[in-house]
Amino acid sequence: MLVLESLLLFSLFNVLALFAAAPAPPPAPVSPTQKNSAAVIQTGVKAIEKEEKPLFQIDTTQEIQKIPDFPDVAKVDVRYPLIPPYSFAHIYWDNANTEMVYEIEEPALDANQKEVLDLLEEGIKELINLSFISVKDRKTVLIYLEKNIRILLTEFAIELTMESYLKIMYYIYRDFVGLNDLEPLMNDYYIEDIECNGVNSPVYLVHRKFRNVRTSLVYKDIHSLASFVEKLAQKCGKYVSYAEPLLDGSLPNGSRVNATYTTDVSSKGPTFTVRKFTSEPWGPLVLIQKNSIIPDILAYIWMLIEYENSFMVIGGTGTGKTTILNSLAFFIPPQARIVSIEDTRELQLEHENWLPSVSRAGVGLTNLLGVKYGEVSLFDLLKASFRQRPDYIIVGEVRGAEAYVLFQAMASGHPSTATMHAENVETLVRRLQTNPINLSGSLVMSLAAVVVMQQTRIKGKEVRKVASVDEIVDVKEVNEGGKVTTNNVFKWEPATDTFKFNPNSRVFNTISEHYGLTKEQVLNEFRLRTALLKEMVRRGITGYKDVQKAIHEYYKEPKDVLKRFGIIK
């Protein structure tokens, strides 16, 4: 142990020497059988010293693999790269257990390679904690990591072939820079959710193509799983402990994390759920391509937003409420100031005049009001937003007291939007009018429309759909029965997978009355925007930046945009 500590101490001085541009230590002795491979590593070391490129590299430029449709799930057998050329996903049907399996394929290590990996990982822990490297440039991180590994290899007189070196570097990168065993899954475009239910239970995931799938990843040691949950908390900039065993935060890449820490809270031990988001936000026209919505609904929402009406997006868990809310926010005028308020950062808007706000938990014991020191709630942020001169307010999810402030804002002329867990409009109104929110019927009527999301199956495939768009006509008080009267504008018909449109829109009538337009003028504008969105999809213009640019141009010069796309002459 004393020898190891001495070597690590000496290694630390060498790291400092590297930053002082001191010459690198002499290479370790090379055996004749490994002379060629070691020579290749030494050549690579010189490249590292010149900061040209690291020996260990990851291909981040690969295209998203297209996965074919499988009418028969028993014939599924797909393999695609996750962290090429080191880890791959292999998805296949397991006949023995009659279920789909997601197998993570990583480089195999023999006993000697595992021993070297364990030794190097212990050494790296003593040198520096790479988990918290703030540098986002992958090349810089890899160069720095290889410098440290080279020092340890030299001091421990370890000789490696190039193949062994690259394998070991992969695991060191995965465990110190990445998220350990979870890192390959974090690099899979097709994964939406990753779910760990505790020790000795397989990790499950939600795949965009195959939905719920069991993986080959199993955490077998409660201490290592608890340590990993601590790492998740640290990556989120949060704290988790036996005293505060619940974690809710966001990773640096924007993924949302919810975790538990102790067996007191979850009987199987620590658990975690990671909700992944795409690196680029889905524009509204991508939802048309995915058959979740139609251009007519988008054109209706576009006009609803432009003429400063408030709406909400509701649905069950996993129905795509946040995704559709983010897409609909594309239709907010370019000059308008947006203030968004969330528990964890999920919205990704391509809007310059946007102030994103995120709540935070407090510390220590609660005071007499039940609030911890330093706590900033959604309620606090929403109250503060009124002094920020917002033109549009977006609340990620409404749950409690913040709803009262939000609806007061709607009633006072601040167009607002939010999401909420509710299956239909009647359930939404019931939640708003009862504890803990307790809104009056007159405040609920500040809502112009409600977009209802639904997760269902069409021809055996799970899909997310806009089930309906309903306008709020009247809401009775609770003591009067709490009945809600709505006007259905769009309704999805599951049997034919089509949408039924009702042109007798209350929103269109309101626009006509307040802005001095005839109903025919309003309907004609609705048809023009619908045609424009259809034409953009037909031309393949669906990228979020291109779509946002076209929408912003339409606000400034609508005729020029319509002429450019051949809608008018």
Mean pLDDT of all residues in the chain? 86
The residue from 252, 275, 298 where one domain ends is 275
**Statement: residue 152 has pLDDT above 70:** yes
Pairing of strands 392-395, 416-421: parallel
Least confident range from 37-46, 57-66, 88-97, 153-162: namely: 37-46
More confident residue, 52 or 50: 52
> Among the ranges 194-203, 335-344, 450-459, which has the highest mean pLDDT value?
194-203
**Statement: residue 63 has pLDDT above 60:** yes
**pLDDT tens digits along 426-479:** 999 999 999 889 999 999 999 999 999 999 888 767 789 999 999 999 999 988
- In angstroms, the CA 485 to CA 135 distance is 55
Q: Quote the longest CA-to-CA distance of the chain.
A: 92
Residues with Cβ within 8 Å of residue 85, at least 6 apart in sequence = 59
Query: Is residue 258 located within the same domain as residue 329?
Result: no
Boundaries of domain holding 244: 182-275
Query: Is residue 164 located within the same domain as residue 218?
Result: no
**pLDDT tens digits along 102-138:** 999 999 999 999 999 999 988 888 776 554 455 566 7
pLDDT, average across residues 491-519: 94
More confident residue, 105 or 156: 105
Residue 306's pLDDT is: 96
Report yes or no on 124 lying in a domain: yes
For 356, 397, 411, 471, 479, the CA distances from 342, given in Å and listed in that order, are: 8, 7, 21, 25, 33
Residue 363's pLDDT is: 67
**pLDDT tens digits along 2-14:** 444 444 444 443 4
Indicate the residue type of 173: Y
pLDDT, average across residues 80-99: 93
CB 384 within 8 A of CB 402: no
Q: pTM of this prediction?
A: 0.77
Residue 7's pLDDT is: 44
Which CATH number covers residue 412?
3.40.50.300
**pLDDT tens digits along 268-295:** 999 999 999 876 778 899 999 988 999 9
What DSSP string runs through 235-257? HTT----SSS-EEEEE-TTS-EE
Structure tokens at 115: 């021993």
Residue 142's pLDDT is: 82
Residue 53's pLDDT is: 72
Query: Is residue 52 located within the same domain as residue 120?
Result: yes
- In angstroms, the CA 63 to CA 120 distance is 33
The residue from 178, 202, 220 where one domain ends is 178
For 314, 485, 536, the CA distances from 453, given in Å and listed in that order, are: 6, 19, 24
More confident residue, 53 or 125: 125
**Statement: residue 502 has pLDDT above 90:** yes
CB 478 within 8 A of CB 280: no
- In angstroms, the CA 296 to CA 503 distance is 11
CB 114 within 8 A of CB 122: no
CB 451 within 8 A of CB 311: yes
The residue from 488, 504, 520 where one domain ends is 504
Band (406; pLDDT cuts 50, 70, 90) = very high
Indicate the residue type of 14: N
Q: Give the dihedral of Cα atoms 274, 275, 278, 282; nearest 10 deg.
A: 180
Residue 378's pLDDT is: 87
Query: Is residue 29 located within the same domain as residue 120?
Result: yes
Report yes or no on 335 lying in a domain: yes
Least confident range from 45-54, 141-150, 271-280, 391-400: namely: 45-54
Report yes or no on 528 lying in a domain: no
Residues with Cβ within 8 Å of residue 30, at least 6 apart in sequence = 38, 39, 159
Residue 62's pLDDT is: 67
Q: Residue 492's Cα: distance from chain center in Å?
A: 27
